[in-house]
Amino acid sequence: MIKMIALDMDNTLLNSQKEISPRNEAVLKRLHEQGIKIVLCTGRPINAIWPYIEQLGLTTADDYTITFNGGLVVNNQTRAALSEHGISKDKLRAVFDFAKQHDFSLDVLDFDRVYEIMDMPRSIYKTILKNIEFKDAHFNDLPGGDHVYAKAIMAIPAAKMSQEVLPAVPDELRQQVNVVQSQPMVLEFLPNGVNKSVGLQALLEHYGWDFTNLMTFGDADNDYEMIRDAGDGVVMANGLDNVKKAADHLTKSNNEDGVAVYLENFFATLM
Q: Starting at the edge strand that comes first in sequence, how are the strands of the sheet with 151-155 ordered?
A: 133-137, 113-117, 107-109, 151-155, 186-190, 178-183
Predicted confidence at residue 129, as pLDDT, reads: 87
Q: End-to-end CA distance of the chain: give it in Å, rounded.
A: 17
The verdict on pTM exceeding 0.85 is: yes
Give me the residue spans of the domains in the chain: 4-84+194-270, 89-190
Residue 98 burial (CB count, 10 A): 21
Same fold, 4-84+194-270 and 89-190: no
**pLDDT classification of 215: cutoffs 50, 70, 90:** very high
Contact, 3 vs 34, CB < 8 A? no
Contact, 123 vs 108, CB < 8 A? no
Contact, 156 vs 104, CB < 8 A? yes
Predicted confidence at residue 130, as pLDDT, reads: 84
Q: Average pLDDT in the 33-52 region?
A: 95
As a CATH number, domain 89-190 is 3.30.1240.10
Predicted confidence at residue 231, as pLDDT, reads: 98
Q: Is residue 175 exposed (0-12), middle (13-18) or buried (19+ Cβ within 10 Å)?
A: exposed
| Comparison of pLDDT for 35 and 129, the residue scoring more | 35
Predicted confidence at residue 176, as pLDDT, reads: 95
pLDDT per residue as tens digits for the range 120-178: 999 999 998 888 899 999 999 999 999 999 999 999 999 999 999 999 999 999 999 99
Helix (H) or strand (E) run with residue 228 in it: helix 224-229
Predicted confidence at residue 173, as pLDDT, reads: 97
Predicted confidence at residue 85, as pLDDT, reads: 94
- CATH architecture label of 4-84+194-270: 3-Layer(aba) Sandwich (3.40)
Q: Average pLDDT in the 41-60 region?
A: 95
Those residues with Cβ within 8 angstroms of residue 269's Cβ, 6 or more apart along the chain or in another chain? none
Sign of torsion over alpha carbons 235, 241, 246, 249: positive
Q: Is residue 203 exposed (0-12), middle (13-18) or buried (19+ Cβ within 10 Å)?
A: buried
State yes or no: pLDDT of 271 exceeds 80: no
Predicted confidence at residue 269, as pLDDT, reads: 87
- Percentage of the chain exceeding pLDDT 70: 100
pLDDT per residue as tens digits for the range 72-128: 999 999 999 999 999 999 999 999 999 999 999 999 999 999 999 999 999 999 998
Q: Average pLDDT in the 229-256 region?
A: 98
Q: Average pLDDT in the 44-52 region?
A: 94
Those residues with Cβ within 8 angstroms of residue 70's Cβ, 6 or more apart along the chain or in another chain? 41, 85, 190, 194, 195, 196, 197, 198, 199, 200
Highest mean pLDDT among 42-46, 47-51, 73-77: 73-77
State yes or no: pLDDT of 234 exceeds 80: yes
In angstroms, the CA 2 to CA 36 distance is: 8
Q: What are the E-state strand segments in the chain?
A: 4-8, 37-41, 64-67, 72-75, 81-84, 107-109, 113-117, 133-137, 151-155, 178-183, 186-190, 214-218, 232-236, 249-251
Q: What angle do CA 198, 42, 153 make, to 5 degrees?
A: 95
| Mean pLDDT over the full length of the chain | 96
